[in-house]
Amino acid sequence: MAKKYFGTDGIRGKVGEYPITADFMLKLGWATGRVFAREGSGFVLVGKDTRISGYMFESALEAGLSAAGVDTRMLGPMPTPGIAYLTRTLRARAGIVISASHNPYYDNGIKFFSVDGAKLPDEVEHQIEQYLDAPITTVESAKLGKVKRISDAAGRYIEFCKATVPPHLDFKGMRIVIDCANGATYHIAPHVFSEVGAEVVTIGAEPDGLNINDECGATKPEYLAAKVLEYRADLGIALDGDGDRVIMIDHKGEIVDGDELIYIIAKSRLDEGKLLGPVVGTLMSNLGMEHALNALNLQLLRAKVGDRYVMEMLTENNGMLGGEGSGHIICLDKTTTGDGIVAALQVLAEMQRTGKSLHDLKSGMKKYPQVLVNVRTEKKVKIEEIDSIKKAVEAVEKKLGDKGRVLLRSSGTEPLVRVMVEGVDEDDVTRYANQLAADVKKAIAA
């Protein structure tokens, strides 16, 4: 059954536009409380990133949960994977994340984690939606939920991150520039990497509620690349606003994306005899990663775009490593969800283990030119039902033959159609992608 409010990654949209409003968040808190109150006593964690609307929404959620008779533990600004970790280790009934991840400050959203630190199952999201369409009620005063703040949340998560690499590894002598995207990792990431011995230069760590992801972080790694060269650093680490994505920069200022990082971690686990199951990417994963993994006799499975689907495929196939080119990387041998800090630590550990630079480690994978063009729409459209778009795609696929791919998909979080073309020749790929984007825009307008 289709969901009314939940998308592929929770509920997300523009602040002030339904459902990203204070009254809806009050109702969402109550609906969530009603679902989890049925499971007995306990509490729900609520954390957020640094965008200004987080203050409004955490208060609304807190009120709704209290009305449903559920206790709340407030975390304040915390990375999404940190909230997943704390939900699991504090034995909370659920974790609620107030974040729009890599989106600008004027967007916001809600994500949930279950007691085991994983995304909520579909059936639980359906149960929450049923309550969202019911009248709100309040438990008697003696049963109202109480609220406390967890003061040591950041320290707990910092220690967890450090524990994902062997304690004997010494990162002294390594200079790292970290871009926190003015987001939820601003008070976490610098401590993690300095406490494992690295010399840390921090940028993008002065959030003001409005500058999250603003020309910085994993969605704009060019800023970090310039800083890596300026500080003559060994590498750079760019996180996104909620800390579940990572893009890295090598000492030459070259961007190392999620596909390349997955390849590096996969080869590291393989060399150490610790890799289990296939590697899982998505329909957008670069063909070069697939070929590089095949050369190691490793299988790449492609899930639908979204870390939720990567996780599902990993679970179904007993895998432990997967992710997306955008920087969502899931290391199930270390944690339960995509974690930018943890993934970066695994790459640093491989650098120390092999004595190789990040530039050298990524050289085993040759990326195919891949061009992505976003076509903005007024509303979501079913592109697979438009004949003119089908014909345009078929024409490009015929030109590429077996040396490239075409992928069109509607975004799960924004009113966009994403047009991707991949092939050997960058000029051809760019031309085909732009032409397809124009064809899609014309077809949708018609």
User: Which among 206, 246, 245, 248 is positioned nearest to 227, based on CA atoms?
Assistant: 248
What residues form DSSP beta bridges with 236? Answer: 177, 249
53, 66, 99, 101: the catalytic one is 101
Half-sphere exposure of residue 118: CA atoms within 13 angstroms, side-chain side: 14
Tell me whether strands 300-303 and 321-323 are parallel, antiparallel or unpaired: unpaired
| 120 vs 36: CA distance, rounded Å | 12
Whether 114 is catalytic is: no
| Strands of 49-132, DSSP E | 71-77, 94-98, 107-113
Give the H/E segment covering residue 9: none
**Cis peptide bond prior to 369, omega within 30° of 0:** no
Residue burial 243-266, b: 16+ Cβ < 10 Å; e: rest? bbbbbbbbbebebbbbbbbbbbbb
Token duo for residue 140 = 């008697």
The response to whether 257 counts as a known ligand-binding position is no
Residue 101 assigned to a binding site: yes
The answer to whether residues 92 and 43 touch, using CB atoms and an 8 Å cutoff, is yes
Q: Which of 318, 341, 343, 346 is nearest to 330 (CA)?
A: 343
Nearest alpha carbon to residue 37 among 2, 71, 84, 81: 71
- Cα distance between residue 327 and residue 179, in whole Å: 14
CA dihedral 160, 166, 167, 168 (to 10 degrees): -170
Task: Report DSSP state, residue 248.
Answer: E
In this structure, what are the phi and psi dihedrals at residue 117, rounded to the nearest 5 degrees?
80, 15
Determine the Cα–Cα distance for residues 161 and 158; give it in Å rounded to an integer: 5
Q: Which DSSP state fits 196?
A: T
Q: Which two tokens stand for residue 80?
A: 């999404």
**Would you name the residues annotated as active-site residues?**
101
Binding residues: 101, 240, 242, 244
Write out the binding residues for Mg(2+): 101, 240, 242, 244
